[in-house]
Amino acid sequence: MFPEPLDLILDREGIRHEYRRFCEHRKQHPREYPAVQDFTGALWLVCVIIGARLLFNRLLNKPVQHLLERRKLPAHRQEVYKLLEEIWVTLGGMVLMIWAIYVASNGLGKCSLWNRFPCLHGWPYLPAPAILKMYYNVELAWYLHLLPKYRLGYGERDSIDMKAHHAATISLILGSYAVYIHLIDPPAGRQPCS
């Protein structure tokens, strides 16, 4: 049985002992826990997303231009790119949101979307399931691909506020993964370090 987090806070020696147990378990099972290496896939995914974005722009450029002309709206290159950008970001955001809901409701053991309390059971022994690692990689790649979009010619220039937003989001993604804020539960029936 794992100690309750509040009991650990009140017992300093217990904290040290539990932390040593945690470190030992992590050494024995390194692939189960979050690590920087888990994000190497995100670097490849950035390239894939940028390629998809370039293809998206190429395939939809003329249809969007014709749509704007038919509606008697300005159909300049900038207006077309602005609409393409809005469509791309909306579609990408929807995919990420649907996947996040799926992971939160199905991929985290005893946790559910409506009851997050079981997520901390067994802390700090919270191995990251593969589906969660994959989601983090895709989300990180999505926000990384938004940073160079203007310089690489596949998106509109962002304001300094938006660039700061992307940088903060990337920091939060990496930070939450590194310090286990993803609130996951060990697989059912598993007793680490027992």
Per the structure block, which two tokens stand in for 14? 């217990």
Spatial distance between the Cα atoms of 35 and 184, rounded to a whole number of angstroms: 15
Nearest to 53 by CA among 173, 153, 160: 153
In a 10 Å sphere around its CB, with 0-12 CB exposed, 13-18 middle and 19+ buried, how is residue 44 labelled? exposed
Spatial distance between the Cα atoms of 168 and 188, rounded to a whole number of angstroms: 34
8 Å CB contact between 32 and 150: no
* Amino acid in position 25: H
Spatial distance between the Cα atoms of 136 and 142, rounded to a whole number of angstroms: 10
What is the residue-wise DSSP string for 63-124? HHHHHHHHTT----HHHHHHHHHHHHHHHHHHHHHHHHHHHHHHSSTT--SS--GGGGTTTT
State whether residue 181 is helix, strand or coil.
coil
Spatial distance between the Cα atoms of 136 and 41, rounded to a whole number of angstroms: 10
Per-residue pLDDT of the chain (194 residues; tens, 9 = 90+): 445 555 545 556 666 676 677 777 777 877 666 666 778 888 999 999 999 999 999 999 899 888 888 888 887 777 888 889 999 999 999 999 998 888 877 766 666 667 666 666 666 666 677 888 888 899 999 999 998 888 888 888 888 998 899 999 999 888 887 766 544 333 343 333 33
For tokens 């997303």, what's the residue? Answer: 49
State whether residue 54 is helix, strand or coil.
helix
Per the structure block, which two tokens stand in for 75? 């159909």
